[in-house]
Chains A and B, each alone.
Chain A
Amino acid sequence: MNSAKTSAKNSAKNGRVNSRFRVTTATRASTIALALAIPIIVLLIAAPAFASRTLLQELFYVFTMLALAQLWNLLAGSAGLISVGQQAFVGVGAYALFAFTIVAGLDPIIAIVLSGVVAGLVAIPSALIVFRLRGAYFAIGTWVVAEVCRLILAQVKQLGGGTGTSLPPEIVNSIFGLDFVRNLFEVRGPAARDMIAYWLALVLAFATFALVYRLLRSRHGLALSAIGDSEAAAESSGVDVFRTKLFIYVAAAAVTGMIGALIFLQKARISPDAAFSLIDWNAYVIFIVVIGGIGTMEGPIIGVAIFYLLQFYLASLGSWYLIILGGLAILLMLFAPSGVWGVIAHRFDISLFPLRRRLVVGAKNAVKAEE
């Protein structure tokens, strides 16, 4: 502490105030993590060449859940916007995909992007309404919005009404690049479709991760965590609280909508209850985030791994599986609210994808870099 003070004095005298201080988010672990991430990503891109079809389908599920978890984590973990209504945007995106492909006849991949736009557009008026509610009331408000979306789409007879509808095979088979993949790996249509869906999920999961990571490390991320800590204090420090919250809510909704569209393109069958399922698209997602560690980039990754294992071994228990998940969530909140990664990070002071800014005093590299 003392040395920091004197060095500050010295550097002020020399007129080089900044040269001995550096604000950084990087740690040694984070540099290693980034280096390790590259071969893992290459391996995942190449996976369809050697992985079984079942494994690709499982990974598809893991990637889509991971992306949904990162987005929920962005809302709840940093901005304090705890939503139990994200299934609204999964459902709207999924229904938009069916509308764009069945009614408008667009290519499914273009339809996924447009479905994200639709979900984002739906999020704007929803945000203007639910932002009038705070904290826990906001949570239930988002749930009401999701119910409204479900009930309205259940009225649309062209998309199957309350019972739902299926994607016709000619649409499923029209997906961009299908013939190329079929010839490349010499597989049949359904297997090639799974590969394309897998790559799309990989791209979406990776892009979501990168976007959230970049955003949280930018000054907007700083504004977000300020809002999460105290809206009044953030506002008085010059953060435009409403615009920041609106932007983050709409952006998360748009990406959530794209993921929803992709999930139901892969399922090729939709119904209001499946597309707007609170358990599938929000309860599981919340579970993944909190068991992994809310407010961190690592948390959802660990959380989705734990969730996948639990699902793999326990899902056959039916309602007991859900009772176990509910019980685990309660125990977690009571005894380790920062989640598995929170405990590890605290114990070993480690951060692979650091979001916190640290002040490095007298760092040689910084001096060198600026001289």
Chain B
Amino acid sequence: MLGWIDTIIQGVLLGGLYSLYATGLSVIFGIMRLVNLAHGDLIVLGAFLILALTAAGVPLIAAFAIVLPVMFAVGYVLQAAILNRVLGRNILPPLLITFGLSIIIQNGLLEAFSADTRFLNVGSLQGASLPLGGGIAIGVMPLICLAAAIAVIVILNGLFYRTAVGRAFRATSDDVEIAQLMGINNRKIYALTMAIAVAVCAVAAFFLGARANFDPSIGTARLLYAFEAVIIGGLGSLWGTLAGGIVVGLAQTIGAHIDPEWQILSGHIAFLIVLVLRPRGLFPRATD
């Protein structure tokens, strides 16, 4: 019984990490109806950038503070210089461009950093835990990660629902042509959207490296977890994405509790079951 309670707590905490992976993807889905196949690799890229800075002697938090705006800029340029050129009804060009980017980032990281597994050294927080009594303890880092996932959603929702630029985001999401008629430059909104999404990747990158090992090849699996969280949660709702992340996290830890080899498979199967039973996700908002 205790084992199960522990498993469920771990699953929810893991869901926090997956929600961070997924939030950027959810924002891009919601506003641009675009899928970024390089999303997972951008997270891994962020982790390696933070790692490279710390290796050069920059303190971890300062390294993160540098990488965050860098990733924001990467996202802005990616959209403004490349993806904005292939806007339109045909989904193949953006899909293949981000697929190509995924392969470039993965192999570029492999050349630059080798296939060795790495982690970000968070010092005394590494392995620190809060005892809950009854032999159950919560890891401090996973808890901070879940808190960060919630904080990111609160900040983004504040941006989207309480500011003028947020109104422009929502208008573009609802109907891009009418938004343009109202004087909104949709290309600029798209560039900002991608910039925000990739900046969230930097946050996800920090916790990816702080919670677990990483190497250049793991990006695609993160993309799939993120995608599953978005679809399970329902398109267009960031809280839904958090719930989706927790569903994937729970499914994986419960699967692993039964048989360690079933961890990843259980997450995928939970996704397929939701897709069969609730094809629009658990908390659908957008109708696309």
**CB nearest neighbor in B for A325:** B103
| Chain B contacts for A329, CB-based, 8 A | 96-97, 99-100
**CB nearest neighbor in A for B90:** A337
Whether B268 contacts A76 by the Cβ 8 Å rule is no
- The interface-forming segment of A4-12, A141-149, A170-178, A202-210 is A141-149
- The interface-forming segment of A114-122, A316-324, A351-359 is A316-324
Of residues 198 to 248 in A, which have CB atoms within 8 Å of B's CB atoms? Answer: none
- Residue among B103, B111, B223 with most chain A CB within 10 A: B103
Query: 4 tightest A-B contacts by CB?
Result: A136-B35, A319-B107, A326-B103, A326-B100
Contact A330-B101, Cβ < 8 Å, known A129-B276, A148-B268, A148-B269: yes
Of residues 149 to 179 in A, which have CB atoms within 8 Å of B's CB atoms? Answer: 151-152, 154-155
| Chain A contacts for B271, CB-based, 8 A | 144
Contact A136-B91, Cβ < 8 Å, known A143-B224, A144-B268, A278-B220: yes
Q: A99 → chain B, closest Cβ, in Å?
A: 20
Given contacts A139-B37, A322-B106, A323-B108, 15 further A-B contacts (CB under 8 A): A84-B99, A129-B275, A132-B275, A135-B33, A144-B272, A148-B269, A155-B261, A286-B96, A286-B99, A326-B99, A326-B104, A330-B101, A330-B104, A333-B86, A337-B86
**CB nearest neighbor in B for A328:** B100
A155 to B33, CA, bound (A): 36
A294 beta carbon closer than 8 Å to chain B:
yes
Contact string, A271-312, partner B, CB cutoff 8 A, digits 1/0?
Answer: 000000011000100100010001000000000000000000
Q: A147 → chain B, closest Cβ, in Å?
A: 6
Between A and B, 6 residue pairs with Cβ closer than 8 Å are A133-B231, A141-B275, A148-B268, A327-B100, A330-B96, A330-B104
**CB nearest neighbor in A for B35:** A136
Contact string, B71-110, partner A, CB cutoff 8 A, digits 1/0?
Answer: 0000000000010011000111111110111111011101
A127 to B107, CA, bound (A): 32
Give B contacts to A, CB under 8 Å: 33-35, 37, 82, 85-86, 90-97, 99-104, 106-108, 110-111, 220, 223-224, 227-228, 231, 261, 264-265, 268-269, 271-272, 275-276, 279
Whether B91 contacts A327 by the Cβ 8 Å rule is no
| Chain A contacts for B264, CB-based, 8 A | 147, 151
**CB nearest neighbor in A for B221:** A147
| Chain B contacts for A88, CB-based, 8 A | none
**CB nearest neighbor in B for A148:** B268
Whether A82 contacts B92 by the Cβ 8 Å rule is yes
Whether B224 contacts A283 by the Cβ 8 Å rule is no
Q: A75 → chain B, closest Cβ, in Å?
A: 12
Say whether chain A's binding surface is mostly helix, strand, loop, or mixed: helix
Q: B138 → chain A, closest Cβ, in Å?
A: 29
Contact string, A75-100, partner B, CB cutoff 8 A, digits 1/0?
Answer: 01000001010000000000000000
A140 beta carbon closer than 8 Å to chain B:
yes
Cβ 8 A contact of B272, one of A129, A294, A326, A333: A129
A137 beta carbon closer than 8 Å to chain B:
yes
A218 to B84, CA, bound (A): 37
Cβ 8 A contact of A132, one of B34, B91, B99, B279: B279
A148 to B223, CA, bound (A): 15
Contact A82-B108, Cβ < 8 Å, known A286-B96, A330-B101: no
Q: B213 → chain A, closest Cβ, in Å?
A: 19
Whether B92 contacts A148 by the Cβ 8 Å rule is no
Q: B227 → chain A, closest Cβ, in Å?
A: 5
Whether B35 contacts A333 by the Cβ 8 Å rule is no
Whether B93 contacts A333 by the Cβ 8 Å rule is yes
Q: A308 → chain B, closest Cβ, in Å?
A: 19
A82 to B35, CA, bound (A): 12
Whether B97 contacts A140 by the Cβ 8 Å rule is no
| Chain A contacts for B108, CB-based, 8 A | 319, 323
